[in-house]
Structure 1
Amino acid sequence: MPQNAAFKGVVYLLLAQLLIWGLLPGLLVESLPLDVVEGAYWGREWQWGYYKHPPFPAWVLHLFYSTLGDMGPFILSQLCIALTLYCVWRIGCRLLSCEQSAFGVLALMGVYYFTWPSMEFNHNIAQMPLWAAAVLLFHRAITDWRYGDWLLLGLVAGLGLLTKYSTLVLLAAMFLWLLWRPELRKELLRPQPWVGVLAMVLLFLPHLFWLMQHEFLPFSYFEGRSARAVEQGWSAWGALRFLLVQLIDHLPLFILLLVAGFWRRSYWQKPDSNAGFILFMGLAPALLTVIGAMITGAGTRDMWGTPMWNLSGLMLASMIPAEVLRQRQRPLLWAFGGFLLLLTVLMLLFVGFKDQIRDKPSRTGWPDEALAQTLSQVWGEHTECPLQLVAGQYWPAELLALELPGVSAVPESDLRLAPWADVRWVAEQGMIEIAEGDRPRWDKTLAELGDWDAEGQFSVPWPRLPDHEPLTLSWRLWLPHTECVD
């Protein structure tokens, strides 16, 4: 690990970035972002799966939220970025010079996914360190063929599948690399890789059982997302559009390199002889995604690219001589430092004042505490039994469930999406359903519960826009049919 001033400058710059983005947003928001609310609530139910995704990110998010409050999800998100950068550093030091590795890490801060989207922890962000760790362990495994490396790779791959099924794309890229390299292909009969496969399967098995018990719910969600992408014209040429968007997401990086003086042809070289692995693992997942979408006709979503570009910086680093990087240390640090400072200022303005700037309420400006308190009062006016179930659109229902201890949510008012609840429980404990606005169109999914016992609405002012039209929620409730249990 180099100890020169330039390397220390990279470390200090990234530490400042990660600390500011991890600590300050949690102090500025009124309520948590959309995906964070959903994940934090899911994790509280401790299921082996949820109707949209596998369970691992939700479990971890719940632990951070329950321990650190609103700051927890933002800290977790930046911790994922930090772990990703560390794994990328280790990969670079194995295959390139340490100067190139340091540049490969710094360059990632010019890739869109490593900055702005990292404010909202979700399954895409959770994949990033797991993909980076998997590539690192894969290279160690095929280099040294130690059982421990293959076992760790299997465990990380299993966690990746418990994070998002798109990890299969990365595993497919690894398998293709093994088949492509003759010296590795003949080693596939050795027991070490199969130890990793066994570990991965055993780790994923409980979720597989959950999928079988719940009619493979996440795949229905995926089909719906893909179908909407197709309806929006994202299928035929949409797969290629996916690649174009990924290129645009790298545009800040290319601009920063030009600012730092890397427009000279003499600063570039053909990729290093050790760069084949980096180039293949860096490009194959996106290309496989596009090929798969074109073959199946499925739609693609731009944010699926989030974990696919961990190696972008190293791919560029392999084309720049280490001597050039040593010469251009200062311009690089100034360019990236100025860019990150600008982004940080914009982030603080966005998180703290976007409602006022746009004169429009945002998800992170919802009065969650006031809503929860008012909803509890409404329930308490009709029964002395504790409120245990809130149904409705998944955002407000799960947001209120997070704020109300001991309360579970029924997203989209659909009991099929809430394995922790059923009709019998609703009949025994009662439930309140909510909907935005004063003229709700109640979903028919709860028709089996029969007529409700009371209905009404209430309004709460927006904390950041007190003069704006208040937030109105309509409600209807079913009272408990049994005596309250203390």
Structure 2
Amino acid sequence: MNTSALAAPGAPSRSLLAPTRVAVVIGASCLVWALLQWLAQGNLDGYHDMLENYAWAQAWDWGTHKHPPFFAWVVGAWFAVFPQTDWAYRLLSYTNVAVGLCGVLHLARRLGLGALAPTAALLLLWSLPYANLAAKFNANSQLLSLWPWTAAMLLASWQEQRWRGAACSVALGLLAAASMLSKYYSGVFLAGFLLPTLLTAAGRQWLASPRPYLALAVFAAALAPHIAWIAGHGWITLGYAMDQGSGATQWGYVLRFALAPLFYWLPGWLACVGVFSYWQRKTQPDASHWARTWLHLAWQSWRPTGWADTLFWLAFTPWALTLGFGVAGVAELSTPWAIPIGFAFSLLWLRNLQAAVPGATARALAALHRAFWPVLGAIALAGLALAWSHARSGHSGYYRPSFEAAQAIADDWARRHPGTALGWVGGAWAENALLAFYALPHARTLPGLPDTYPALFNPHAGWEQQAGILLCPRGPYSTTGSAPAPDAACEDTAQQWLAQRGQSAAPHLIAVQRQGWRFPRPQTFVYAVFDALPATPPPPRLP
């Protein structure tokens, strides 16, 4: 593959940032974002996705009742090393971002655009998916690290020969499988490899070699245990994915997804086009009016160079295919699905703009680099302002005492049942995972009841012989001081199940507050705990 053909005339011959400095900038930026998210958000996330990840990680199984398992495995591996705290979870979120940005750097070098790689990474750090949305580690954000490296390994498999080519092909198969095992939506991304492979000479030559078939064999072998798992469980995970489509075109969702490349990556794109427009006007005094210049470059930033434009197809195809499925009614498009699609956007903008304004490229890149730290400083101030706003407003999501509740429930259990280990926690999925994450890591988290759907898809063996609880959070007291109402669905189910087993169905109520300098307006939250004690074995019969 002739990668030099992709580097436009006028491009800087080498990066304006040394590799070590690039690594420092990426690492420091991700640490700043992790700290800001920990400070601004009192809890992990409002929908308990991150607690759900941890609960699935406890099983280490080949599937779940909702999603494929790879991102849960990542969570399990991470917390085998790091403490189970919010800040460590945020660090995982932004380590994932840093790994993804390293993949973008490698992809750029494989495309012959290594000089643009650091700037492309910096521009992604100004985008919502890599900056703000990445804070919630889940199936969508996991793909931020996997997709760039998978694309880079596709090109590496094209370019390398002999044992290097074989190694890159194996890596391609494994990364493609990890992408699918994170979210089935990755099938759209992998399908996007078809056009650049068929439309480029390097891709067609690759197809005539053993390397793609080695990658395909590795991909199939890595997916086989998961396929066997879902086949043995009624295709539950695949069924959940298929249920995301209503069969009719939802034009509102289609429109939002169509605009996602702009509003998710708007800050970096505006900065990129704006800087090149400015330097074109500075270096070409006879250039057209500034507005026409800006609009011209804005259009140029997204255009392909021809049918054999590998970078354009990598950047464009996941978005276009997803839109096609949405228009056809195959899927009801969710805007967060767009989180991983933009890994190649900034490279595309920079490559196209350096070709459109070759004389200004070095100065435009230098200007973007100079702006990075002031922008990051402004973002830090905005994060502090957001934290102050949440603290002062009394936002219930900020004040929800997940950590304190877990500690209080664990202490209360030890006091009421001394010497009895708590083996499992059921009830309100997935908020009930707070107990295992913050206090009792060996207590298995179960969705709902231990002997019914969906807990039976990842069963907890021996739960009948273990003590457990059913946890039903009631929420905060109102501003008028009235107590929160019970969660009727959760508590009724718990009481009926316990009554059927001949056990007490009375809830044990625990009230908890958050304290400290981050929480100047404490709110009291109530948690209903139902004890589920193991059945007492019958006395031995006399001979």
Asked whether the two chains share a fold, i.e. TM above 0.5, the reply is yes
Deviation of the 1:410 alpha carbon: 1.7
Equivalents in 2 of 1:271, 1:244: separation in Å? 19
Structure number with bigger Rg: 2
Equivalents in 1 of 2:107, 2:409: separation in Å? 53
Change (3 A) 1:171 1:257: closer
Q: Is the 8 A contact 2:250 2:329 kept in 1?
A: no
The 3-state SS of whatever aligns with 2:118 is helix
Deviation of the 1:45 alpha carbon: 2.1
Change (3 A) 1:224 1:434: farther
Aligned residue number for residue 397 of structure 1: 432
Please show how residues 182-201 of structure 1 align to structure 2 within 5 Å.
184-185=203-204, 188-201=207-220
Equivalents in 2 of 1:343, 1:364: separation in Å? 23
Counterpart selection for 2:251 from 227, 232, 236: 236
Aligned residue number for residue 257 of structure 1: 272
Please show how residues 85-100 of structure 1 align to structure 2 within 5 Å.
85-100=101-116
Q: Is the 8 A contact 2:233 2:457 kept in 1?
A: no
Change (3 A) 1:59 1:421: closer
- 1:307 matched to 2:340: yes
The 3-state SS of whatever aligns with 1:394 is coil
Equivalents in 2 of 1:173, 1:3: separation in Å? 29
- Normalising by structure 2, what TM-score? 0.78
- 1:67 matched to 2:81: yes
Amino acid at match of 2:221: L
Residues 104-138 of structure 1, C-alpha deviations (whole Å, 9 max, x = no match): 22221232111011222222221112110111111
- Mind listing any 5+ residue stretches in structure 2 that lack a counterpart? 1-12, 281-292, 475-484, 538-543
- 1:151 matched to 2:170: yes
Aligned residue number for residue 112 of structure 1: 128
Please show how residues 35-434 of structure 1 align to structure 2 within 5 Å.
35-69=49-83, 70=85, 71-144=87-160, 146-181=165-200, 184-185=203-204, 188-227=207-246, 235-257=250-272, 260=275, 262-263=277-278, 264=280, 265=293, 276-321=309-354, 323-350=359-386, 352-362=387-397, 365-378=400-413, 381=416, 385-402=420-437, 403-413=439-449, 415-419=452-456, 425-434=462-471
Amino acid at match of 2:231: M
Q: Which moves more between the two structures, 442-451 or 324-333? A: 442-451
- 1:15 matched to 2:27: yes
The 3-state SS of whatever aligns with 1:442 is helix
Deviation of the 1:466 alpha carbon: 6.7
Change (3 A) 1:360 1:382: same
Q: Is the 8 A contact 1:433 1:475 kept in 2?
A: yes
Residues 247-301 of structure 1, C-alpha deviations (whole Å, 9 max, x = no match): 2112212332355353544995776679810111101011111112222342011
Amino acid at match of 2:267: P
Residues 171-223 of structure 1, C-alpha deviations (whole Å, 9 max, x = no match): 11112332344664475353221111110111111111111222223234334
Equivalents in 2 of 1:247, 1:127: separation in Å? 19
Equivalents in 1 of 2:511, 2:333: separation in Å? 39
The 3-state SS of whatever aligns with 2:408 is helix
**Which one has a larger percent helix, Structure 1 or Structure 2?**
1
- Normalising by structure 1, what TM-score? 0.87
Residues 367-421 of structure 1, C-alpha deviations (whole Å, 9 max, x = no match): 4234343355247526753221211222321111222132111224474333487
- 1:459 matched to 2:511: yes
Residues 144-183 of structure 1, C-alpha deviations (whole Å, 9 max, x = no match): 4522222211111111112111121111111233234466
Amino acid at match of 2:430: W
Amino acid at match of 2:183: K
Equivalents in 1 of 2:314, 2:513: separation in Å? 50
The 3-state SS of whatever aligns with 1:77 is helix
Change (3 A) 1:426 1:316: same
Equivalents in 1 of 2:472, 2:119: separation in Å? 50
Q: Is the 8 A contact 2:315 2:341 kept in 1?
A: yes
Q: Which moves more between the two structures, 153-162 or 368-377? A: 368-377
Q: Is the 8 A contact 1:428 1:482 kept in 2?
A: no
The 3-state SS of whatever aligns with 2:381 is helix
Residues 19-54 of structure 1, C-alpha deviations (whole Å, 9 max, x = no match): 222456557866433322221232122111222222
Change (3 A) 1:224 1:474: farther
Q: Is the 8 A contact 2:473 2:526 kept in 1?
A: yes
Aligned residue number for residue 439 of structure 1: 486
Change (3 A) 1:273 1:344: farther
Change (3 A) 1:319 1:29: closer
